[in-house]
Amino acid sequence: MSSRSLRYDWWSKSLSGVVAGFLLALGISGLFAWLGPGGIAAANKVQFNMWLIVLVWLPILTTVYLFRSGARAWLILGGLALVSHVALYCVRYGAML
């Protein structure tokens, strides 16, 4: 194995998975809470959404090392997190884009 094949941006990839991946998981869970069966007021949906965050976040954390660079991981995961939160805002407050 050559020294060029070893990537030293795993810190950046790890942090993008932890921070941006968590924000993406929160956005997806929020969208499910508002758009899922029964709407936001469904019984026992709070507990399910709590565990849904983990079920979405862990695959993001494990696949973040497949990105070519840490900057690309931040860009893609951060962009997806931003899109999910904008969509959540639109769903929650009835705003149209």
Is residue 45 included in any domain, yes or no? yes
Note whether 79 and 23 are within 8 A (CB). Answer: no
Contact 64, 10 (CB under 8 A): no
Closest CA to 32 of 59, 55, 58: 55
Asked whether residue 22 is domain-assigned, the answer is: yes
State the total domains in the chain: 1
| Structural domain includes residue 79 | yes
Residue 3 placed within a domain? no
Per-residue burial over 51-88, b if 16 or more Cβ lie within 10 Å, else e, is ebbeebbeebbeebeebeebeebbeebbebbeebbebb
**36/85 Cα distance (integer angstroms):** 16
Question: Residue 42 domain-assigned?
Answer: yes
pTM value? 0.87
Range of the domain at 60: 10-93
In a domain, 4, yes or no: no
Tell me whether residue 16 is in a domain. yes
The per-residue pLDDT string of the chain (97 residues; one tens digit each, 9 = 90 and over) reads 455 555 678 899 999 999 999 999 999 999 999 998 888 888 888 889 999 999 999 999 999 999 999 999 999 999 999 999 999 999 988 865 5
Q: Confirm whether 2 is domain-assigned.
A: no
